[in-house]
């Protein structure tokens, strides 16, 4: 860590020879105090720039769900990959939440967009937080490679795919579990985008991985792996995964889409396949 740190360490646990840590910091773009988790793999030299993977979680999660439920640390330790786990929305007493306390809007449901509408726009700038502010902070504080991998689940799969497709030079590879791929055409996405972005559907398309792949996929390519459980009760209801596979087929975009009988939407699905995702990213990191 640098001498003039902006981070407060909240916890540190030794894990598979490395360290699982949690930090707090003041976010300028979100205008609130934020927490994030990091797994540091065991390393022989503090001077080596580590490869890093950003994990974006889904609705209702904090930075701690993946850290405690996915079981990713053993393979990350073996592969020498740092795991960076941000929160899913701004937090704090001054941050607006859904009026009815709904789980799919407001706290825990930032959707990785920059809100343009009241009362959200002062704090809900999650796209800028994940793409710019947090990576700048991480590279100031720790030794990490410039290009990172990015992955996520459900709303976080949407975040990972849209951020990777819009920032192909910044990320080496992207993967997702049960991602929302067409938020402009599913209930979760339409609700969130109406609140955060208003009625301007042009703005919505900037955060829709189907639209982004269709726009840019003929010219640009990033290695992509997507896994979907066939017993996931949100698979059909929220049009997860499939619409992006259809766009990929249509435009000839090379990406792997896999469907797994019996698996649901939970972290039991993620923990069953996370090793394959980490090994996939390790080829490009």
Ligand X SMILES: N[C@@H](CCC(=O)N[C@@H](CS)C(=O)NCC(=O)O)C(=O)O
Backbone angles phi, psi at 81, to 5 degrees: -105, 130
Q: Which of 155, 181, 244, 285 binds ligand X (CB under 6 A)?
A: 155
Q: Which of 7, 59, 115, 213 binds ligand X (CB under 6 A)?
A: 59
117-125 long-range Cβ contacts below 8 angstroms, 24+ apart: 117/195, 117/196, 117/197, 117/198, 120/96, 120/195, 120/196, 122/31, 123/30, 123/31, 123/32, 123/90, 123/94, 123/95, 123/96, 124/30, 124/89, 124/90, 124/196, 125/29, 125/30, 125/90
Q: For the CB of residue 154, give the shortest distance to ligand X in the complex, in Å.
A: 3
**Per CB under 6 A, 154 contacts ligand X:** yes
Sign of CA dihedral 53, 18, 64, 137: negative
**Per CB under 6 A, 266 contacts ligand X:** yes
Close Cβ partners of 17 (under 8 Å, ≥ 6 residues apart): 41, 42, 77
Residues in a beta bridge with 259:
228
Q: Which of 8, 26, 103, 258 binds ligand X (CB under 6 A)?
A: 103
Q: For the chain, what is the radius of gyration of the CA atoms? A: 18
Give me the helices (H) in the chain, please.
64-69, 73-79, 126-128, 134-141, 155-166, 187-197, 201-205, 209-216, 242-251, 267-282
**Per CB under 6 A, 85 contacts ligand X:** no
Where in the sequence numbering do the catalytic residues fall?
Answer: 154, 232, 265
**Per CB under 6 A, 69 contacts ligand X:** yes
Q: Mask of contacts with ligand X, 192-231, x by CB under 6 A?
A: ----------------------------------------
Our CB check for ligand X shows the closer of 215 and 272 to be 272
The residue with its CB nearest to ligand X is: 58
Reduced to 3 states, what is the DSSP secondary structure of residue 233? coil
DSSP 132: I
Q: How far apart are CA 71 and CA 104, in angstroms?
A: 25
Q: For the CB of residue 262, give the shortest distance to ligand X in the complex, in Å.
A: 17
Q: Which of 158, 195, 265, 281 binds ligand X (CB under 6 A)?
A: 265
Q: Which stretch binds ligand X (CB under 6 A): 2-10, 53-61, 73-81, 163-171?
A: 53-61
**Per CB under 6 A, 89 contacts ligand X:** no
Q: Which of 7, 30, 61, 161 binds ligand X (CB under 6 A)?
A: 61
**Per CB under 6 A, 158 contacts ligand X:** no
**Per CB under 6 A, 182 contacts ligand X:** no
**Per CB under 6 A, 60 contacts ligand X:** yes
Q: For the CB of residue 88, give the shortest distance to ligand X in the complex, in Å.
A: 9
Q: Which residues bind ligand X (CB under 6 A)?
A: 58-61, 65, 69, 103, 153-155, 265-267
């Amino acid at each position: 860590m640098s001498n003039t740190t902006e981070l407060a360490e909240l916890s540190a646990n030794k894990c598979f020879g490395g360290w699982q840590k949690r930090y707090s910091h003041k976010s300028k773009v979100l205008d609130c105090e934020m927490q994030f988790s990091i797994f540091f793999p065991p390393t022989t030299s503090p001077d080596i720039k580590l490869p890093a993977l950003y994990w974006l979680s889904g609705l209702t999660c904090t930075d701690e769900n993946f850290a405690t439920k996915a079981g990713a640390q053993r393979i990350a330790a073996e592969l020498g990959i740092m795991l960076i786990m941000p929160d899913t929305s701004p937090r704090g007493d001054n941050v607006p939440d859904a009026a009815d306390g709904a789980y799919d809007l407001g706290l825990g449901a930032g959707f990785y967009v920059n809100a343009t509408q009241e009362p959200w726009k002062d704090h809900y700038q999650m796209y800028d937080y994940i793409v710019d502010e947090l990576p700048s902070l991480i590279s100031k504080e720790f030794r990490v490679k410039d290009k990172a991998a990015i992955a996520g689940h459900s709303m976080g799969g949407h975040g990972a795919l849209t951020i990777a497709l819009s920032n192909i030079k910044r990320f080496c590879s992207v993967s997702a579990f049960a991602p929302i791929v067409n938020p402009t055409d599913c209930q979760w996405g339409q609700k969130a985008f109406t609140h955060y972005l208003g009625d301007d559907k042009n703005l919505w398309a900037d955060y829709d991985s189907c639209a982004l792949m269709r726009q840019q996929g003929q010219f640009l390519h990033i290695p992509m792996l997507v896994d979907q459980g066939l017993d996931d009760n949100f698979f059909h209801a929220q049009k997860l995964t499939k619409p992006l596979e259809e766009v990929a087929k249509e435009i000839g975009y090379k990406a792997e889409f896999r469907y797994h009988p019996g698996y649901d939407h939970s972290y039991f699905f993620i923990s069953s396949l996370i090793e394959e995702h980490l090994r996939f990213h390790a080829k490009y990191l």
